[in-house]
C-alpha cells in the first residue's frame, strides 16, 4: 500500500502539528507515496506551508472546528475515506482519533495515532484519558520521544507505542557566528508559551551585569502581545524587547543567522522545532525542561542549558551564562548542530517509511 492520509482537525492554522504534517506529507510524496492532507474543518486564518505541494489537500467542512460531532462531519469523513481508498490513516491528535477511529474499515485502513504533546502535559488534561481509551486499539501509537513513548506505554497500557520525532524542514549550509547580542523567542504569543517568564529572565540577566546592548527579539503574534509589552515595561526592558510579529518561514533563516541564543519558556511542549532549527544554525538554547521532546533535543551542558520548569531565576542564570561568553555559545552551538543531524528531514522520512512498512506486516 502506497497511500497515506494525514488528518488534522484543522490542517492550515499556524501551529506545530500543521507545519509538521505538511512537511512530512511533502517528503513522503517525494518518495513516491500518494499523499493526502485533510483538515476536518477550515482554518479561520490559514497559512500556506508548502509552496508547491505534491500531495492532495482537502478541507471537509467550511465551518470552524467545535466540540460537537455532527452527522455531517461523519458523512464527510466517510466519503473521504471511500474516495482515497485503502490507506494508512495518520490521525494527528486525540481530537482526530475520536472523530475517525470507528469510521476506519478494518483490514483496509491502517490507523496510526500521533500525539504531538508531552506525557507530562497529557496527564494534566483530557488528552491522557483519550489516548488511554483509543490509541491502544489502533495499529500504531506514535509519540515524539523515547521517554514519552515509554511513559505512555506504561501508564496507558499501550501495546503499540513507538516514537518518531518531528523533522527539521531544512538544513542550512551556513551557521550563525553567535557573536552578536540577540536572543530569540519564537512562537505564538499566547499564554502557554509564557513569554512573560522569558522577558523576566532576560531582564534579570541584563541586570546581573555583563556586556550591554543585548536584545530579546520575540517572533510571532497572538493575543498576549499587549500584555507582554506592558510586562516588558514593568521589568524595565521595554526598549530591548523587540516585538517582531509573524515572520514567514522563508524569512526565518536570516533570523537564526543573526541570533546568538534562543530562549524557551513554555508551560509545556512536545518536541519544539525552534530548538532544533536554532541548533541547525549552530545557535544554542536555554530552556525549561518540560518534556521528553525537549530533552531529546537538548543534552544538558553539551548542546544547551536546561533548567527546572517555571524557574525564572534559573533561566535568567542560564541566559546570563550564554550572554557572557561567545566561546561558550560557540561550543554549545557546534555540538547542538551535530546532535540535530538526527532530526534532518531525510532521516525522519527514513523512519516514517520503516514505520509504514512495519504497520503493513
Residue pointed to by grid coordinates 551535530: 338
Residue pointed to by grid coordinates 504531538: 116
360 CB-near residues (< 8 Å, 6+ apart): 1, 110
Burial 29-53 (b: 16+ CB within 10 A, else e): beeebbbbbbbbbbbeeebebbeee
In this structure, whether the domain defined by 182-343 belongs to CATH 3.40.50.360 is answered with: no
Q: Locate the domains of the chain by residue range.
A: 3-167+344-360, 182-343
Q: Give the CATH fold of the 3-167+344-360 domain.
A: Rossmann fold (3.40.50)
Q: Is the pTM of this model over 0.75?
A: yes
Tell whether the model's pLDDT for residue 68 goes beyond 60.
no
Q: 238-254, pLDDT tens digit by residue?
A: 999 999 999 988 899 99
pLDDT mean over 106-113: 94
What φ, ψ does residue 203 adopt, rounded to 5°? Answer: -60, -45
Predicted pLDDT of residue 69: 66
| CA–CA separation, 20 and 57 (whole Å) | 15
Tell me the percentage of the chain whose pLDDT exceeds 90.
88
Predicted pLDDT of residue 107: 85
Q: 150-190, pLDDT tens digit by residue?
A: 999 999 999 999 999 999 988 999 999 999 999 999 999 99
Q: 302-328, pLDDT tens digit by residue?
A: 999 999 999 999 999 999 999 999 999
pLDDT mean over 19-35: 97
| CA–CA separation, 243 and 325 (whole Å) | 25
| CA–CA separation, 270 and 121 (whole Å) | 9
Element (H or E) spanning 77, and its range? helix 71-84
Q: Provide the 10 A C-beta neighbour count for residue 361.
A: 4
Kindly report each contact of residues 71-80 with a partner whose C-beta sits within 8 Å and lies 24 or more positions away, as own/partner: 73/40, 73/99, 74/99, 74/103, 76/40, 77/40, 77/103, 78/103, 80/5, 80/36, 80/38
Predicted pLDDT of residue 67: 54
Amino acid at each position: 500500500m502506497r497511500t497515506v492520509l494525514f488528518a488534522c482537525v484543522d490542517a492550515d492554522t499556524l501551529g506545530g502539528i500543521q507545519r509538521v504534517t505538511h512537511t512530512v506529507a511533502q517528503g513522503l510524496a517525494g518518495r513516491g507515496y500518494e499523499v493526502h492532507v485533510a483538515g476536518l474543518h477550515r482554518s479561520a486564518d490559514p497559512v500556506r506551508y508548502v509552496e508547491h505541494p505534491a500531495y492532495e489537500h482537502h478541507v471537509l467542512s467550511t465551518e470552524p472546528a467545535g466540540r460537537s460531532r455532527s452527522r455531517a462531519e461523519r458523512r464527510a469523513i466517510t466519503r473521504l475515506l471511500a474516495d482515497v481508498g485503502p490507506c494508512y490513516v495518520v490521525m494527528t491528535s486525540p481530537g482526530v482519533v475520536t472523530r475517525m477511529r470507528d469510521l476506519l474499515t478494518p483490514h483496509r485502513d491502517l490507523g496510526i495515532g500521533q500525539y504531538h504533546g508531552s506525557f507530562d502535559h497529557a496527564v494534566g488534561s483530557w488528552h491522557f484519558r483519550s489516548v488511554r481509551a483509543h490509541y491502544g486499539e489502533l495499529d500504531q501509537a506514535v509519540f515524539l520521544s523515547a521517554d514519552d513513548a515509554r511513559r505512555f506505554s506504561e501508564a496507558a497500557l499501550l501495546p503499540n507505542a513507538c516514537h518518531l520525532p518531528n523533522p527539521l524542514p531544512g538544513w542550512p549550509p551556513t551557521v550563525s557566528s553567535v557573536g552578536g547580542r540577540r536572543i530569540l523567542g519564537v512562537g505564538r504569543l499566547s499564554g502557554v508559551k509564557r513569554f512573560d517568564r522569558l522577558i523576566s529572565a532576560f531582564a534579570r540577566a541584563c541586570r546581573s551585569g555583563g556586556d550591554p546592548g543585548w536584545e530579546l527579539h520575540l517572533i510571532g503574534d497572538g493575543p498576549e502581545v499587549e500584555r507582554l509589552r506592558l510586562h516588558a515595561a514593568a521589568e524595565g526592558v521595554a526598549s530591548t524587547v523587540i516585538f517582531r510579529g509573524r515572520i514567514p518561514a522563508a524569512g526565518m533563516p536570516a533570523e537564526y543567522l543573526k541570533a546568538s541564543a534562543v530562549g524557551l519558556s513554555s508551560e509545556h511542549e512536545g518536541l519544539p522545532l525552534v530548538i532544533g532549527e536554532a541548533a541547525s544554525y549552530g545557535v544554542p538554547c536555554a530552556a525549561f525542561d518540560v518534556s521528553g521532546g525537549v530533552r531529546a533535543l537538548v543534552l544538558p551542558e553539551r548542546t544547551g542549558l536546561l533548567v527546572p520548569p517555571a524557574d525564572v531565576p534559573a533561566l535568567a542564570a542560564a541566559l546570563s551564562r550564554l550572554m557572557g561568553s561567545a566561546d561558550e555559545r560557540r561550543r554549545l552551538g557546534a555540538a547542538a548542530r551535530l546532535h540535530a543531524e538526527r532530526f534532518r528531514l531525510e532521516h525522519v522520512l527514513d523512519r516514517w517509511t520503516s514505520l509504514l512498512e512495519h504497520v503493513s506486516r
